[in-house]
Structure 1
């Protein structure tokens, strides 16, 4: 496969990584960002992505429908252009892929074909993932199934325990990776060999919503529960449960291997308290919890030995419901 010298880059979506690679793109390419309400309202370093774009005088357009975009269908449609999806809220349809002359690439953060889908960093925390990947693959009509054209593997540090910690580490790796790729694309590539994904090794995980899915199930094994709680940590509010009829958010949780094992009835019971933490019984073990927030205040010092953290079964049942997002945000159904 040959890639012509690239002069134009059309970014579809937009995120924190987009902000970081734009200086190089602005210097070397003609570019435009087609973004959505959902992307532009994302908070990056205390400001919305839209505000960053305006302050930095970045060329972007806010659209609802990608298929109707003149820029997508005509203006950038040439062999000298690359379409780059960065947290794109749109699934590009087969008829659009067929008529676009440009190479349409998607940036993905997992070891494809594993972890196709969304909410990648929360799923990674849940499953204690160490292997990180920078992937660029050629878009096809399905989700995350295209041929991989560039990739790089790395290890996440052992001490990462929140989606934000994973993402921040990934951002630095991905920015270096993309900058290297773009400089190659600028000069064209005579021979490159896209790699098919091995379908029988694939897995797909859907998007999550912290208000619906982020409820602590105290019947889970203590190690699994620790990872589950942390998977809804920063940038999310935390994992939800109740304490004395108050909805609270848990974060900064670790499995405790130094105390006795507990039976499942004791799960959620606060059995010891330290200067800035509590020890809570779990199934087959226990948890060390450092943050319990209620109304934006860490109430860890207010928790009492003998009290219990608990989640009503109706909340547990609802967390198995699937959610969907479009370019505007969460789809209500």
Structure 2
């Protein structure tokens, strides 16, 4: 509910989560402790990951609205989008009486959209921001209700590291926020400025994760790290492509060997049993511990000095030209 540019919910009784979160159990327990009922609405593709009772709606049509009207008092219900696949249009937002919010983990208006932590790893963004905002018709453009900044620990390097830290920070932030809402606190709304910001399109490893070996060493390792666990790994080929598509993981930057030339980029200069040393276009080399084939096997021991990683231009061009779109049924 909005009054005098302040957000609040009178006598909060229900929280309806829309989408998916891996810590639904923790969120529901927080609600239970505050005597708040919890319900989950999700999409067909997201429902696969959910073990709690839920209902599936892939569109916010008449059946969706009937379900809401029949089961909840909208005035004392908070609707929370967690990566929801549903498109929230103006009439739906009004139907929910503006009690519709979204949790986001960036410094909006920067990094709206998708792509998880991959874009931020590429750019070396080390600031975490837990944020909640009102939902409007734009993408992550609604007024900000509350936020909390922190710095990612220095050992966060690949997406799973950032996600583990973010998820814990999110649960803590959610707990504090929902306690305030339950306690009747009002939040001053802060409009996002529209003359700065960045929208990130969604990413898919199999479509966008192809390695350009002409990147400088820092760009290269950031790109590879951006597609590491929990994703399949950045993609390239070896020699004539005899091993097919290969996924590179567990990589470090190494400055202890001699400098390189751009034409040396991708060449395996040495095999040190548990890792290989690969030249880059700059003075650093890469230490690579995992080269995974399409069967999920690490073929590190089948690679020899003098072999060369490469990615044909057709894959690099496709990686930057394909726009990834996800619907309630999954990737289009």
TM-score using structure 2 length? 0.91
Task: Give 1:72 shift.
Answer: 3.8
Partner of 1:24, secondary structure, is: helix
Which of 103, 128, 132 is the equivalent residue of 2:124?
Answer: 128
Task: Give 1:254 shift.
Answer: 2.1
Which of 76, 81, 90 is the equivalent residue of 1:85?
Answer: 81
| Residue of structure 1 equivalent to 2:319 | 319
CA distance in 1, matches of 2:69, 2:105: 27
C-alpha contact (below 8 Å) 1:241/1:248 kept by paired residues: yes
| Residue of structure 2 equivalent to 1:308 | 308
Partner of 1:33, secondary structure, is: strand
| Residue of structure 1 equivalent to 2:18 | 12
| Residue of structure 2 equivalent to 1:266 | 264
CA distance in 1, matches of 2:70, 2:102: 20
Question: CA RMSD, aligned part only?
Answer: 1.6
CA distance in 1, matches of 2:56, 2:215: 43
CA distance in 1, matches of 2:276, 2:47: 39
| Residue of structure 1 equivalent to 2:221 | 226
Partner of 1:5, secondary structure, is: coil
| Moved >4 Å (runs of 4+) | none
CA distance in 1, matches of 2:142, 2:21: 21
Which of 106, 115, 129 is the equivalent residue of 1:119?
Answer: 115
Report how many aligned residue pairs link the two structures: 317
| Residue of structure 2 equivalent to 1:291 | 290
Partner of 2:157, secondary structure, is: coil
Task: Give 1:200 shift.
Answer: 2.2
Partner of 1:135, secondary structure, is: strand
Partner of 2:121, secondary structure, is: helix
| Residue of structure 2 equivalent to 1:239 | 234
| Residue of structure 2 equivalent to 1:46 | none
Structure 2, unpaired ranges of 5+: 1-5
CA distance in 1, matches of 2:22, 2:327: 19
Task: Give 1:208 shift.
Answer: 0.6
CA distance in 2, matches of 1:125, 1:324: 21
Counterpart check, 1:210 vs 2:211: no
CA distance in 2, matches of 1:180, 1:196: 22
Counterpart check, 1:35 vs 2:42: yes
Partner of 2:141, secondary structure, is: coil
TM-score using structure 1 length? 0.91
| Residue of structure 2 equivalent to 1:44 | none
Question: Are the structure 2 counterparts of residues 237 and 2 from structure 1 closer, same or farther at C-alpha, using a change threshold of 3 Å?
Answer: closer
